[in-house]
Amino acid sequence: MWELLRKFNDIRTTRNFTNYQYDLICRNYCISLKISKELSHKFFEVLGQILYKFW
């Protein structure tokens, strides 16, 4: 009985840790997307200003 309870707790702990890892991965991915979106917007804004000066 105690062995089964211990195994159940181990499985539950592993599952919670795995869910936590996926949450971190998704959060980091979303942050990376937001940063790349802001940087690409600024890059094209500066590129547009440079091209405007030469045309």
d(CA 55, CA 51): 6
Residues 16-27 pLDDT 10s: 777 777 787 888
Residues 26-50 pLDDT 10s: 888 888 888 898 899 899 999 999 9
Q: Is the pLDDT of residue 1 over 70?
A: no
- Kindly indicate the confidence band of residue 10, based on its pLDDT and cuts at 50, 70 and 90: confident
Identify the top-confidence range among 6-10, 11-15, 20-24, 29-33: 29-33
3-class SS of residue 21:
helix
Mean local confidence (pLDDT), 4-23: 73
The residues spanned by each domain of the chain are: 1-55
